[in-house]
C-alpha cells in the first residue's frame, strides 16, 4: 500500500470552493476551484444552494487529486475550512437541506436582533459568547429558519433535523451521514456557544428558541472527525482537521504567540489578534472568539470583521463593469496619482466592526465631472485599507499593543499596491507569506497534525516563510488627511450629519 503523506484541504468560501493538495512540507501541489452562485432573494438577503456547495466540493477534490497525479491512497487526511456563520438546516434521514443556506452577510434577522438588544440581552450574550448581538451570526438565522420553514420547528424538536455551519454539513455528507459534528472555532461563531465553558449554553438556546437536539458535537480543531465514504474518492480518507476560515488562516499564518495578528482579504476582511489562553471582552465592539483549540485547551483572539473587501472588487467587475478581472483594479489604481477626493464606503450589507450598523448602505462621495473609473477603483482599494485601520484603532483602544507587523493573506494580497496602501495607512510593516492561501494551509496543518504528517505546532511556525515585506512610506500628514476624509464618508453612509 502507498504511504499516505499528502493532505487535502477543502476551503469552502463565500464566493468559491477550493480544494488544494499540500505536501509534507506544507507546499501546495495542485488545486481546483469552483465559483459559487450568489442568490439575492431580497434587499440585504444572501443565500447559497447547499447542493451546489456539495457538488462543487466533491468535484474540486477529485480534480485537485487528479491534477496532483495522486490517488486517494496518497492522501493521509482531509482538513475542512469554511465560510463561518452561514447556516444550514437539513433532514437527518435524507441529508437534504430544508432551505437554501442563509449566508453570513444576510441581514434578514436584523430586526429580531434589535429587539434582543433593546430588551437588554447584549451584555450577557457578549460575556458568554464574545460576540455582539447581530444578524451576522448563526443563531438568529437559525431562529428565522425554524420560524419560517413549514413544520421546521416541530421536526427540529422531534430530533428529525440537524443544524450546522457549512463545515458540519460537508462533514455529514462526506461521512455518509455518520457524523454530526463541528469544531470549537465554528461553534464560537453561532452565538449559542459559551467560549468560557467551551460548551453549548442552555440559556442562549432558550433565548433564541433553539432545540438542543439539532446541534452538532463540538471537538478540537485537530481531531479524528470521521472518514469519507469510499465511493467519493476511490478510498476512505480520514477527516482530521476543521476550522472556520479566519481561524484557519490564523493557524496557517502561525500566529501562535499573544500579540501576533493576521488579516485575511477575501470576500470580507477579518483581522485576528492572538490574546492567549484567557478570553477578554472588547469594550469597542470587537469580537472575542476561539482562535483554535488543541488538546482541549483553547487559545483566544480579538477579531474585527469587515463585510466587504474582495466583494467590493467583485462589484466593480460584475456591477459597474469597469474591470474585467481583479488584477485590473491594481492597474487602474496605479494610473492616477490619488482618488481625487473620491471615497467609496462598501456598506452593501451594512457595516461590520467596529460600527455594527445593519442599516448603513454603500456610498460613493466626492464625485465630480473629472472623476473616472480609475478614481473609483482606487477608492475601492483604499476603502479596504481604511476599514483595516478602523479595526486596528479599535484594537488599540481595547488596550492591545501596536502590532510590530501585520501578516496578510487571501486572494487580494496578490495586489502589491493594496499591500503598500495597508502599510501606509496603518503605519505598520505588512508581511505577505509565500503561500497566500493560508486559510486552506491552516486546515491542512490541523489535519496533518492529527494524522502525523506535520510533527508539531512548532514545526508549523518554523515552516512559515515571508514572500515580501511592505514598509510604510506615506507622510503622516497625508495619512491623517485621508483617514479623516474616510471617517466623514462613513458617517454619511450611516446617515449621520
Structural domains in the chain?
6-246 (3.30.420.40), 254-433+465-496 (3.30.420.40)
Confirm or deny that 445 is annotated as ligand binding: no
User: How many other CB atoms sit within 10 Å of the CB of residue 55?
Assistant: 13
Burial (CB count <10 Å: 0-12, 13-18, 19+), residue 429: middle
Query: Band of the pLDDT at 197, cuts 50, 70, 90?
Result: very high
Measured between alpha carbons, how far is 36 from 13 in angstroms, rounded to an integer? 8
2 pLDDT higher than 70:
no
Q: Prior bond to 354 cis, omega within 30?
A: yes
Measured between alpha carbons, how far is 294 from 240 in angstroms, rounded to an integer? 12
Which grid coordinates belong to 148? 419560517
Confirm or deny that 411 is annotated as ligand binding: yes
The residues with which 6 forms a beta bridge, in sequence order, are: 75
Measured between alpha carbons, how far is 239 from 339 in angstroms, rounded to an integer? 47
The helix/strand/coil state of 20 is strand
pLDDT at site 447: 96
pLDDT at site 325: 87
Long-range contacts at 193-196 (CB < 8 A, ≥ 24 apart) = 193/129, 193/218, 194/128, 194/129, 195/128, 195/129, 195/130, 195/279, 195/288, 195/289, 195/290, 195/298, 195/300, 196/128, 196/279
User: How many other CB atoms sit within 10 Å of the CB of residue 236?
Assistant: 15
Confirm or deny that 458 is annotated as ligand binding: no
Query: Cα-atom radius of gyration of the chain, to the nearest Å?
Result: 22
Confirm or deny that 14 is annotated as ligand binding: yes
- Which residues fall within 8 angstroms of residue 328, CB to CB, at 6 or more apart? 377
Query: Band of the pLDDT at 410, cuts 50, 70, 90?
Result: confident
Under 8 Å between Cβ of 469 and 407:
no
pLDDT tens-digit readout, 299-322: 999 998 888 888 898 898 988 898
Q: What stretch of H or E contains 470?
A: strand 466-470
Under 8 Å between Cβ of 442 and 461:
no
Confirm or deny that 497 is annotated as ligand binding: no
Measured between alpha carbons, how far is 154 from 147 in angstroms, rounded to an integer? 10
Average pLDDT, the chain: 92
Under 8 Å between Cβ of 144 and 53:
no
pLDDT tens-digit readout, 215-251: 999 999 999 999 999 999 999 999 999 999 999 999 9
Average of per-residue pLDDT across 359-366: 88
pLDDT tens-digit readout, 20-31: 999 988 889 999
Chain-centre distance for alpha carbon 251: 13
Burial (CB count <10 Å: 0-12, 13-18, 19+), residue 413: buried
The helix/strand/coil state of 342 is coil
Confirm or deny that 190 is annotated as ligand binding: no
Confirm or deny that 136 is annotated as ligand binding: yes
Which grid coordinates belong to 200? 453549548
401 pLDDT higher than 80:
no
Phi and psi at residue 486, in whole multiples of 5°?
Answer: -60, -45
Confirm or deny that 95 is annotated as ligand binding: no
pLDDT at site 497: 56
Under 8 Å between Cβ of 188 and 289:
yes
495 pLDDT higher than 60:
yes
| Residue owning grid cell 497566500 | 436
The residues with which 203 forms a beta bridge, in sequence order, are: none
- Which residues fall within 8 angstroms of residue 322, CB to CB, at 6 or more apart? 316, 332, 373, 376, 377
Which grid coordinates belong to 26? 506544507
pLDDT at site 326: 84
Confirm or deny that 16 is annotated as ligand binding: yes
Strand blocks (E) in 228-382:
238-244, 261-265, 269-276, 287-294, 297-306, 343-345, 363-365
The mean-pLDDT minimum among 102-116, 286-300, 314-328, 377-391 falls in 314-328
The helix/strand/coil state of 204 is helix
Which grid coordinates belong to 231? 465511493
Average of per-residue pLDDT across 275-279: 91
496 pLDDT higher than 80:
no
Q: What stretch of H or E contains 485?
A: helix 476-493
Amino acid at each position: 500500500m502507498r504511504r499516505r503523506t499528502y493532505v487535502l484541504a477543502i476551503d469552502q468560501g463565500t464566493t468559491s470552493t477550493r480544494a488544494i493538495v499540500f505536501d509534507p512540507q506544507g507546499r501546495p501541489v495542485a488545486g481546483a476551484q469552483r465559483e459559487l452562485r450568489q442568490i439575492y432573494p431580497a434587499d440585504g438577503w444572501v443565500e447559497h444552494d447547499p447542493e451546489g456547495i456539495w457538488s462543487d466540493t466533491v468535484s474540486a477534490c477529485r480534480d485537485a487529486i487528479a491534477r496532483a497525479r495522486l490517488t486517494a491512497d496518497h492522501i493521509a487526511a482531509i482538513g475542512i475550512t469554511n465560510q463561518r456563520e452561514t447556516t444550514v438546516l437539513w433532514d437527518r434521514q435524507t441529508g437534504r437541506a430544508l432551505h437554501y443556506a442563509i449566508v453570513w452577510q444576510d441581514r434578514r434577522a436584523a430586526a429580531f436582533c434589535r429587539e434582543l438588544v433593546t430588551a437588554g440581552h447584549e451584555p450577557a450574550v457578549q460575556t458568554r459568547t464574545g460576540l455582539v448581538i447581530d444578524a451576522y451570526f448563526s443563531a438568529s438565522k437559525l431562529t428565522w429558519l425554524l420560524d419560517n420553514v413549514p413544520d421546521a420547528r416541530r421536526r427540529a424538536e422531534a430530533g428529525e433535523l440537524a443544524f450546522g455551519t457549512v463545515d458540519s454539513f460537508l462533514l455529514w455528507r462526506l461521512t455518509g451521514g455518520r457524523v454530526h459534528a463541528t469544531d470549537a472555532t465554528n461553534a464560537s461563531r453561532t452565538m449559542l456557544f459559551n467560549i468560557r465553558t467551551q460548551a453549548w449554553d442552555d440559556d442562549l438556546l432558550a433565548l433564541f428558541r433553539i432545540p438542543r437536539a439539532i446541534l452538532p458535537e463540538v471537538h478540537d480543531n485537530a481531531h479524528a472527525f470521521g472518514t469519507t465514504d469510499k465511493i467519493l474518492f476511490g478510498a476512505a480518507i480520514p477527516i482530521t482537521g476543521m476550522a472556520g476560515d479566519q481561524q484557519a488562516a490564523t493557524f496557517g499564518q502561525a500566529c501562535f504567540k499573544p500579540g501576533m495578528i493576521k488579516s485575511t482579504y477575501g470576500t470580507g476582511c477579518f483581522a485576528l489578534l492572538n490574546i492567549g489562553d484567557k478570553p477578554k471582552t472588547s469594550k469597542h465592539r470587537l469580537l472575542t472568539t476561539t482562535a483554535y483549540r488543541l488538546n482541549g485547551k483553547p487559545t483566544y483572539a480579538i477579531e474585527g470583521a469587515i463585510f466587504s473587501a474582495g466583494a467590493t472588487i467583485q462589484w466593480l467587475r460584475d456591477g459597474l463593469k469597469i474591470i474585467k478581472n481583479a488584477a485590473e483594479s491594481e492597474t487602474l489604481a496605479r494610473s492616477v496619482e490619488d482618488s481625487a477626493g473620491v471615497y467609496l464606503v462598501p456598506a452593501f450589507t451594512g457595516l461590520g466592526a467596529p460600527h455594527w450598523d445593519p442599516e448603513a448602505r454603500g456610498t460613493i462621495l466626492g464625485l465630480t465631472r473629472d472623476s473616472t473609473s480609475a478614481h473609483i477603483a482606487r477608492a475601492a482599494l483604499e476603502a479596504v485599507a481604511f476599514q483595516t485601520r478602523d479595526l486596528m484603532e479599535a484594537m488599540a483602544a481595547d488596550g492591545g499593543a501596536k502590532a510590530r507587523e501585520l501578516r496578510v493573506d487571501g486572494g487580494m494580497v496578490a495586489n502589491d499596491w493594496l499591500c503598500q496602501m495597508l502599510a501606509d495607512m496603518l503605519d505598520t510593516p505588512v508581511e505577505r507569506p509565500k503561500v497566500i492561501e493560508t486559510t486552506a494551509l491552516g486546515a491542512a496543518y490541523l489535519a496533518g497534525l492529527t494524522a502525523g504528517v506535520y510533527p508539531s505546532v512548532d514545526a508549523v511556525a518554523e515552516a512559515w516563510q515571508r514572500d515580501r515585506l511592505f514598509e510604510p512610506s506615506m507622510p503622516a500628514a497625508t495619512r491623517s488627511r485621508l483617514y479623516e476624509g474616510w471617517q466623514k464618508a462613513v458617517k454619511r453612509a450611516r446617515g449621520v450629519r
